[in-house]
Every structure is written in structure tokens, then in C-alpha cells.
Structure 1
Amino acid sequence: MAVLEVHHLKKIYTTRLGGARVQALTDVNFSVEKGEYVAIMGESGSGKTTLLNILASLDRPSSGEVLLNGTRLSAIPESRLAAWRREKLGFVFQDFNLLDTFSIKDNIFLPLVLAKTPVAEMKKRLTPLAEMLGISGILEKYPYEVSGGQKQRAAVARALITKPDLILADEPTGALDSRSTDSLLAVFEEINRKGQTILMVTHSIKAASHAGRVLFIKDGTVFHQIYRGELQREAMYQKISDTLTLLTTGGNSHE
């Protein structure tokens, strides 16, 4: 069953000065099945960020449609969008987006507080998550007191605690050192094994090689895709690297 369906997405921006039209997305089509772990890659300016913003309902397409578990995003009233986003989507950002004036625990609780979830239910959800992510010992600390890797694990906990249909991760390893990157990618694999659907936008071949499928965006459309299947991670890494070379040298593929 498809959790996410993307049909003929097009996005055109009109610049303020001179009214020039910039086509960020041309014709994007793909779906993500329940329990899949999909990475999206492409050069800067290929439309990745625009696509992510539309999938997150932070922007509207010029034409086309996005469905999450059969619900058309275009049918959700503006007044309901923020609550819908909070209930259905979990977000993991490159720069963590934690509030320094809140403890790690309160940062994780924030989406549930906004949803008026009972305190007992919030605590019940937090305990196993914190154990799985290895952050039980830092819950009372503040973001400025912990490492980048610990901040990102807290951000993952905040994304997961609402039990979202889909995790959207935007360059989640971009601000991490190599060791913290390895640790976070292991966490993503673990939560995916437990059935969580993940869609990650990344520049990192290493991060993408952990996904089950990689979509490549070029000139505002899906140019190519790779399924991991039985490939070992080293072989997947090489296939991704070769495809990125093809992208930058102007090759042509729509596999």
C-alpha cells in the first residue's frame, strides 16, 4: 500500500523583480510504499528542496497532486494544515531545530503538547523511544549542553513520538561528524526495520546508500532510480556514485 503518492507535480515561481518565471519542478511522479526507506538525491537547483517543501505541505504545487494515505493535500483546509502536519508527518532537519530554552525532554514532547496529549501518554511514549535512541541520560539537559549527534537523536525522537505516517528528513547528517553520522544512519535503519516509512533528501552518498531505494532528481523530474535489493552497502554506494556522475555529465536515463 502506498503511503505517499506524487502525481505530475509542477512548480513555477515568479521572481519579484522582472517577473521572470522559474520552473523548479517539471513533472515529478513517484510513490512510496508503507515501510519503505527512500532517499532523494540531485544537484543543487534540481528541485529537491522544492519537492520536500510541497510534500511537507509547506508549499503548494502549481499543478499536480500529492496524496498521503489517500488524502489529497490540496483538499486540506489552511486552517487544518498545521495540525494535520503535526499528526501525520515527522520532521528531521539538518540543523536540528531544537529550542535552547527547552530541555531535551520538553523539545521531544512539544508536538504532543501542541496536540493536547495527556501527560501520562507522553511519558509512556517517551521511555521506549529514549531507550532505543540512547538518550535516556540526557533528557533533563538542554540542547547547548549536548553533542550534535545527541541533538539529532533528540530530533528523531521528536519526529517519532507522534507515531507519524511518514518521516521527512532533510539532510539529516549534514551537520554531523563521521561518527555521529554512522550512529544516526544506524538509528534510521533500526526505526525503518520496525516499520517506519522514511523519505530522506540528502547530498550524502553514504547516507543514501543506507536507503532501500534512491530517486535522482534532474531538471525538475525523476531522472533515474536505484533499488538496493540484495546489494551490499559498498555496491549500493558505487551505483549511487556512478549515477551522480551520469547526472553531472549530462547522461540520460529514466529507469
Structure 2
Amino acid sequence: MMLLKVKNLKKIYATRFGGQKIEALKNVNLEVENGEYVAIMGESGSGKTTLLNMLAALDKPTNGQIILNGRNIVDISDKDISAFRREHLGFVFQDFNLLDTFSLKDNIFLPLVLSKTNYKEMENRIVPIAKDLGISDLLEKYPYEVSGGQKQRCAIARALITKPELILADEPTGALDSKSTNDLLTLFNKINENGQTIIMVTHSTLAASHASRVLFIKDGEVFHQIYKGTKTNEEMYQSISDTLTLLATGGVRNE
């Protein structure tokens, strides 16, 4: 079933004094099925972060549609957009975005508190998630008392606890060491196998090799894509590396 459809998406930024316009996204079209795990890659300035911000409803496109589960999120009013994000989207960021004055449990609860969910329901939701992520014994600790990998697990729990239709991850392995990175990617695979749809923006070929599909953005457009299919992670890694080399030298074009 189609979960997300992006149609003719364009974003033009004006410079401070309006003298110059920068076309960050030209004509992006893509579809994501329910339960897919999609990675988005591209060089700095290619438009991938702009695209993620559009999908996250953090910015509005100049033209085009972003249809999530049949609803065009571009048309949602500024007054209602924050509530929409809390109820339908989960976010995992490179720098974790945790509040040091809150325990890990309270950080995880925060989107539910903002949605005025009752405490019993919050407790019921956190138990299985914390167990799956291996942080049950860390919930009373504060972010400054745990490792980067543990902080990222907390951030994932916060993203999952609202039961979002879509998880958006922005360079989720960027601040992690190699062991924590491997642990995180294993967790993402498990979460996806349980039916959660994930879209991840990353520079990491290793991270992208775990996805079921990789989209390559170049000059504000979806330029190419690779499906994992029956490839192993190692074979996917090599395919991504080869494609990045071809993109850098002007090769390949999405059909």
C-alpha cells in the first residue's frame, strides 16, 4: 500500500535581499510503500536535507504535493502542523535533540505529554519499546549520564512511542562510533521488519546499505535509485559505492 507520494516538488529560496533565487529542489517525484526502508543520499548541497525538511513538514515547498496516507501535508495550516507532526511522524536526528534537564524516560514521553496522553497509556507504551531497544534500566538516568549510542536509542524510543506512520532519520549514525553505528543499524532493521516505514538521509554508505532502496539526489532531483532485492549488505554497499562514483563523474541516470 502506498504510504507517501511526492509529486512535482519544487523549492526555491530567495537570498536575503531577494536579488538571487536558489532552486534547491527542481521537480522531485517519488513514492514510498508502507513498510519500506528508504535511504536518501547525495553530495552536500544536492537537496537531500531540503527534501527531508519538506517531508517532515518543517518547511513548505514552492510548488508540488506531499501526500501522506492520502492527505496533502502541504495544505495543513501553520496552526495545526505541530500537532500533525507529533501524531503522524517520528524523528531521529544526528545530535539526538534530548533535553539534559529531563530523564531519558521524560524525554521519550515528551511528544505524548504535548499530545495530552494520559500517564497510564504512556507507561504502557514505553515498557515494550524500552525492552526492545535495551534501555529499560536506563530510563531514570539523564542524557549526560549515558553514551552516545544509548542517547540515540532513547531518541528512537521517542520517535516510536507516538506510533508514527513514518520515521524520518537525519544522519542518525553521524555522531556514533562504529559499534554504536552497527547496533543502531541492527535496531533500524528490526524496527523495519516489524512494519515501521523509515526514510533516512545519510552520507554513510554503510548505513544506506541496510535500506531496501536507496535514492540518489543530485542538483535538486532524484537522479537514480537502487533496490536491494536479494543483495547482501556487502553487495548493496558495493552497488552504492559504484553509483556514488558514477554520479561524481557524471554517469548514470534514473530511468
TM-score by length of 2: 0.99
User: In structure 2, what residue type is equivalent to 1:202?
Assistant: T
Deviation at 1:252, TM superposition (A): 3.5
* Corresponding residue for residue 193 of structure 1: 193
The C-alpha deviation readout for 1:114-143, integer Å capped at 9, x for no partner, is 000010000000000000000001100000
* Corresponding residue for residue 84 of structure 2: 84
Deviation at 1:18, TM superposition (A): 5.6
Q: How does 1:156-171 map to 2 (within 5 A)?
A: 156-171=156-171
1:238 aligns with 2:238: yes
* Corresponding residue for residue 143 of structure 1: 143
The C-alpha deviation readout for 1:91-119, integer Å capped at 9, x for no partner, is 00000000000000000000000000010
* Corresponding residue for residue 120 of structure 1: 120
Q: Distance in 1 between matches of 2:240 and 2:17?
A: 38
| DSSP-derived class of the 1:189 partner | helix
Q: How does 1:200-239 map to 2 (within 5 A)?
A: 200-239=200-239
* Corresponding residue for residue 27 of structure 1: 27
Moved segments of 4+, more than 4 Å: none
Q: Distance in 2 between matches of 1:191 and 1:18?
A: 44
Q: Distance in 2 between matches of 1:144 and 1:232?
A: 37
1:3 aligns with 2:6: no
Q: Distance in 1 between matches of 2:150 and 2:23?
A: 38
User: In structure 1, what residue type is equivalent to 2:219?
Assistant: D
Deviation at 1:11, TM superposition (A): 0.5
Q: Distance in 2 between matches of 1:227 and 1:165?
A: 22
Deviation at 1:21, TM superposition (A): 0.6
Confirm or deny: 8 A CA contact 2:61 2:74 kept in the other structure: no
Show structure 2 runs of 5+ residues with no match.
Answer: none
1:182 aligns with 2:189: no
* Corresponding residue for residue 49 of structure 2: 49
The C-alpha deviation readout for 1:179-215, integer Å capped at 9, x for no partner, is 0000000000000000000000000000000000000
Q: Distance in 2 between matches of 1:112 and 1:187?
A: 22
The C-alpha deviation readout for 1:10-55, integer Å capped at 9, x for no partner, is 1110101462110100110001100000000000000001000011
* Corresponding residue for residue 14 of structure 1: 14
Deviation at 1:250, TM superposition (A): 1.3
Q: Distance in 2 between matches of 1:124 and 1:58?
A: 30
Confirm or deny: 8 A CA contact 2:243 2:252 kept in the other structure: no
Q: How much is the aligned-residue C-alpha RMSD, in angstroms?
A: 0.7
1:71–1:18 Cα change, 3 Å: closer
Deviation at 1:225, TM superposition (A): 0.4
Worse-matched range after superposition: 72-81 or 230-239: 72-81
Deviation at 1:75, TM superposition (A): 2.1
Worse-matched range after superposition: 10-19 or 81-90: 10-19
* Corresponding residue for residue 75 of structure 2: 75
TM-score by length of 1: 0.99
User: In structure 2, what residue type is equivalent to 1:62?
Assistant: T
1:97 aligns with 2:110: no
Q: Percent identity?
A: 69
* Corresponding residue for residue 40 of structure 1: 40
